[in-house]
Amino acid sequence: MTGLSSSLQILISGTRRNCSLFGENDLSLDSMIHVMTCKAQDWYSVVSRLSGKIDSCMKTITTVSWTCPPDNVFKLNTDGSLPNSGGIACGGGLIRDSNGRWIKGFKVVFGKTLVLGAELWSILEGMKLAKSLGLKDIIVESDNLIAVQILTRVLQPPGAVLLVVSAIQFILTPDWKVTFSHVLRDANYAADWLTGHLHIHDFGVEVLDTLPADLVPWLMHDLVGVAYFRSV
């Protein structure tokens, strides 16, 4: 209590001194308490606003890495891009099992479309490959958030990609479990590598039965769980 009483005396003395500077020498204790209360409320309001701004700027640090799917589940990672100013879109992807082992991959050149279109067409080609292999339960990972939100019906697809979205929905059947998931690019480097190593004039789809030798380091990178720190 002694500390609280001393603090209160200091606060009252400071308030009385400030009031005297403005010619208010005859304030009663009740008046001073009222003044102090008002100033405390003003201060609380300022601090609250600042705290809100600070909280909105604070980000959570997390680790990002590729992870193996559960047992009896396969993971399809895809990527699409427009590697040059000509608007020629390309994509690629790979399928791995619950041990992170290569199943198959693909590379594809579509022609002219938007980046979002390239992402969605890549997902479609990867799903067609998975279905042709008879894989009944797959997780589809893409680092394009908008594409995933469209496929999970969070967003309505724009007109430019209605065709490919309809094609994806068409091949989905009740006996086929497909989960669409968004990942950061750090968890999608293998698919990104495939997309970045395309001959842009070779239109069409190329299925990769054999694991490309230059892709092996990225599969090992994913398999050992190399993680990256990211703020989200």
| pLDDT tens profile 41-86 | 565 565 556 555 555 555 687 888 999 999 999 999 999 988 765 6
What pLDDT band is residue 228 in, cutting at 50, 70 and 90? confident
Based on its alpha-carbon atoms, the radius of gyration of the chain, rounded to whole angstroms, reads 30
Strand partners, 208: 105
Q: Which residue has the higher pLDDT, 196 or 144?
A: 144
Does the pLDDT at position 229 exceed 90?
Answer: no
> pLDDT value at position 63?
87
67 touches 139 (CB < 8 A)? no
Residue by residue, DSSP assigns the chain as -HHHHHHHHHHHHHHHHHHHHTT-TT--HHHHHHHHHHHHHHHHHHHHHHHHHHHHH---EEEE---PPPTT-EEEEEEEE--STT-EEEEEEEEE-TT--EEEEEEEEEEE--HHHHHHHHHHHHHHHHHHTT--EEEEEES-HHHHHHHTTSSPPPGGGHHHHHHHHHH--TT-EEEEEE--GGG-HHHHHHHHS--TT--EEEEE-SPPGGGHHHHHHHHTT--EEEE-
What pLDDT band is residue 5 in, cutting at 50, 70 and 90? very low
> pLDDT value at position 22?
47
Mean pLDDT calculated for residue range 187-208: 85
Kindly report, residue by residue over 173-197, the tens digit of the pLDDT: 999 999 999 999 999 999 999 988 8
> pLDDT value at position 225?
86
> pLDDT value at position 197?
80
> pLDDT value at position 8?
47
Query: Which of 21-25, 94-98, 123-127, 197-201 has the lowest average pLDDT?
Result: 21-25
Kindly report, residue by residue over 72-82, the tens digit of the pLDDT: 999 999 999 88
> pLDDT value at position 10?
53
Structure pTM?
A: 0.73
Q: Which residue has the higher pLDDT, 55 or 148?
A: 148
Strand partners, 105: 94, 208
Does the pLDDT at position 31 exceed 80?
Answer: no
